[in-house]
């Protein structure tokens, strides 16, 4: 295994015990992880105000939320491999610079189109940050037990960031305009630039050949069209555009997989999926993030537009879930080692499903307890599952290929998040619009109702019905994944 302190090429002989510098390095790595994860959900609470200022269409609203996650999903595998080759610290700092520039552009975007472009650039920068930061943990912590603890902390910040995002956003929106949710990234990135070059090791795998550019093109050409096709079909129905773009993605994906089988150093190591633990981990991260994205997005709208709370009050109600996610993420790796991957995955996914189903107790004029209890129980499940996913990804390959393996697992996280917003969000919107003569969103309906209390009440009830359907669908996905974990891991034993 590689020495955590070597620079261009790595040599044998790592220290068995993590040093103070290693823990300081972990602290620095947590900064970009928190930002990338937080920026997936930070716009949930800002969307109502952003809608008033920029007047985006319903399609543009979804793109503002989706484009960031879509580009993360499309580029993570490539960036993970690139970090293995040119240096993980190098690509981490380069990605942070791109992320910072894009954050400033997003904060002062004068139109919805420019905001979408800035969010896309943030997605490109974020794709370089996640795989490199988690892969560097294998260099900082050569001891397996200490590394598992570090991964738990890393995952706690990653999983917790998507929950903390709305809370931080609520505090900022209480005092500033919606662009402040992007500018908060700048001081955090400055800390990374100040300390990163000194406490983070440079890890470059000299045994790997150059990046296969056709594989890069096929990877992006496979993921993005498929995701766009599903999103388009979910919002406007299945039409010729959805079918054509979806077929392009499928053909590119097939060509990508065939090429990987022919390469000595593939961009995607298909043999990883022959391991039951790795396959279950990827499926669990996708299912978990899909349901979490739907729950977070819809509940933030519910707390503001249905119950009438301001962004700060709505954000504070998410604190119990944030605490549950973080605490259980830190202890997730330990639970996996003690009780086994099978039992931990099944328990975690089942707990998340129960938490989602408890939100069926939420209503227009009551049921806040159902949200608090349900989201907290779901947070326990998400925290345990996501940490075990990261642990499995890092431990599945040698240190020189950690970036590529992490890229695969993080792709499943981001793809699940984007699919949750696209599919579960669109399902809730479809049921909402079918309930009456409403605008595309609940916020628009209330804004243009001109004080018509009967219309507003009816629209709020219709939104709650849509939210119930979406969280139920998310719970069913979690249950299906829990059953898959139960049978797949038992069969391989």
> DSSP 3-state assignment of 155?
helix
How high is the pLDDT of residue 15?
Answer: 43
Q: pLDDT grade, residue 354 (50/70/90)?
A: very high
Burial string for 364-377 (b: 16+ CB within 10 Å, else e) reads: beebbebbbbbbbb
Q: For residue range 399-428, what is the model confidence (pLDDT) as tens digits? A: 555 556 666 777 777 778 777 877 888 788
Alpha-carbon torsion, ordered 469, 473, 478, 480, to 10 deg: 140
**Cα–Cα–Cα angle for 58, 59, 64, nearest 5°?**
100
- Comparing 345 with 340, the larger pLDDT belongs to 345
Percent with pLDDT over 70 in the chain: 85
Mean pLDDT along residues 474-485: 93
**pLDDT of 479 strictly over 90:** yes
- Comparing 196 with 491, the larger pLDDT belongs to 196
* Cα separation, 2 vs 108, whole angstroms: 43
How high is the pLDDT of residue 371?
Answer: 93
Q: For residue range 449-463, what is the model confidence (pLDDT) as tens digits? A: 777 788 888 888 888
Mean pLDDT along residues 364-383: 90
Instruction: Read off the pTM.
Output: 0.75
The tokens of 464 are what? 């709650």
Q: For residue range 42-89, what is the model confidence (pLDDT) as tens digits? A: 776 677 777 777 877 777 777 787 788 778 777 877 887 777 777 778
How high is the pLDDT of residue 12?
Answer: 38
How high is the pLDDT of residue 6?
Answer: 39
Q: pLDDT grade, residue 483 (50/70/90)?
A: very high
Q: For residue range 263-317, what is the model confidence (pLDDT) as tens digits? A: 777 777 777 777 777 888 888 888 998 898 889 888 888 888 888 887 777 878 8
Neighbours of 163 (CB within 10 A): 28
**pLDDT of 2 strictly over 60:** no
> Which of 11-15, 385-389, 435-439, 462-466 bottoms out in mean pLDDT, i.e. has the lowest?
11-15
Find out whether 359 and 299 touch, Cβ atoms under 8 Å. Answer: yes
Percent with pLDDT over 90 in the chain: 11
Q: pLDDT grade, residue 474 (50/70/90)?
A: very high
The fold of the 20-211+267-492 domain, in CATH, is Growth Hormone; Chain: A; (1.20.1250)
- Exposed, middle or buried by CB within 10 Å (0-12, 13-18, 19+), for 309? middle
- Comparing 290 with 447, the larger pLDDT belongs to 290
Mean pLDDT along residues 386-404: 67
How high is the pLDDT of residue 7?
Answer: 38
> Average model confidence (pLDDT) for the chain?
79
- Exposed, middle or buried by CB within 10 Å (0-12, 13-18, 19+), for 441? buried
Q: pLDDT grade, residue 376 (50/70/90)?
A: very high
Q: For residue range 113-138, what is the model confidence (pLDDT) as tens digits? A: 888 899 889 888 888 887 777 778 87
* Cα separation, 478 vs 290, whole angstroms: 9
How high is the pLDDT of residue 79?
Answer: 81
Q: For residue range 12-27, what is the model confidence (pLDDT) as tens digits? A: 344 444 577 788 888 8
How high is the pLDDT of residue 182?
Answer: 85
**pLDDT of 478 strictly over 80:** yes
Residue 381 sits at φ, ψ, to 5 deg, of -65, -45
Mean pLDDT along residues 429-434: 83
> Which of 2-16, 166-180, 334-348 bottoms out in mean pLDDT, i.e. has the lowest?
2-16
CA dihedral over 287, 290, 293, 295, signed as positive or negative = negative
Q: pLDDT grade, residue 11 (50/70/90)?
A: very low
R_g of the chain, CA atoms, integer Å: 22
**pLDDT of 207 strictly over 70:** no
């Amino acid at each position: 295994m590689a020495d955590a302190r070597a620079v261009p090429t790595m040599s044998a002989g790592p220290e068995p015990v993590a040093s103070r510098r290693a823990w300081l390095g972990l602290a620095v790595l947590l900064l970009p992880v928190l930002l990338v994860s937080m920026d997936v959900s930070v716009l949930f609470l800002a969307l109502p105000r952003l809608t008033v200022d920029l007047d985006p269409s319903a399609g543009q609203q979804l793109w503002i939320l989706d484009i960031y996650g879509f580009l993360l999903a499309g580029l993570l595998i490539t960036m993970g491999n690139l970090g293995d080759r040119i240096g993980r610290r190098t690509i981490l700092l380069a990605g942070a610079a791109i992320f910072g520039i894009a954050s400033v552009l997003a904060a002062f975007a004068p139109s919805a189109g420019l905001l979408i472009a800035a969010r896309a650039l943030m997605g490109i920068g974020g794709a370089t940050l996640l795989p490199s930061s988690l892969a560097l943990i294998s260099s900082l912590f050569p001891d397996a037990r200490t590394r598992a603890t570090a991964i738990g902390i890393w995952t706690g910040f990653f999983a917790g960031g998507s929950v903390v995002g709305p809370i931080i956003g609520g505090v900022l929106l209480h005092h500033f305009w919606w662009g402040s949710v992007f500018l908060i990234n700048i001081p955090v990135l400055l800390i990374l630039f100040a300390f990163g070059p000194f406490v983070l090791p440079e890890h470059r795998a000299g045994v790997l050949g150059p990046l296969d550019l056709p594989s890069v093109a096929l990877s992006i050409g496979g993921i993005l069209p498929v995701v766009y096709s599903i999103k388009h079909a979910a919002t406007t129905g299945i039409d010729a555009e959805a079918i054509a773009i979806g077929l392009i993605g499928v053909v590119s994906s097939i060509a990508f997989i065939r090429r990987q089988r022919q390469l000595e150093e593939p961009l995607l190591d298909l043999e990883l999926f022959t391991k039951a633990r790795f396959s279950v981990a990827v499926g669990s991260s996708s299912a978990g993030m899909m349901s979490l994205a739907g729950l977070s997005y819809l509940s933030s709208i519910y707390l503001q537009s249905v119950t009438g709370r301001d962004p700060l009050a709505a954000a504070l109600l998410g604190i119990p879930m944030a605490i549950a996610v973080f605490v259980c993420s830190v202890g997730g790796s330990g639970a996996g080692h003690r009780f086994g991957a099978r039992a931990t995955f099944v328990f975690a996914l089942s707990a998340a499903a129960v938490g989602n189903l408890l939100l069926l107790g939420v209503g227009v004029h009551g049921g806040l307890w159902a949200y608090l209890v349900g989201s907290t129980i779901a947070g326990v499940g998400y925290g345990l599952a996501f940490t075990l996913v990261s642990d499995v990804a890092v431990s599945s390959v040698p240190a020189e290929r950690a970036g590529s393996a992490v890229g695969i697992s993080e792709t499943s996280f981001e793809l699940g998040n984007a699919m949750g917003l696209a599919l579960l969000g669109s399902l809730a919107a479809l049921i909402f619009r079918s309930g009456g003569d409403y605008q595309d969103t609940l916020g628009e309906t209330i804004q243009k109702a001109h004080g018509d209390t009967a219309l507003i009440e009816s629209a709020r009830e219709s939104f709650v019905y849509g939210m119930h359907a979406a969280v139920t669908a998310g719970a069913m996905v979690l249950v299906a994944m829990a059953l898959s974990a139960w049978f797949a891991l038992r069969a391989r034993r």
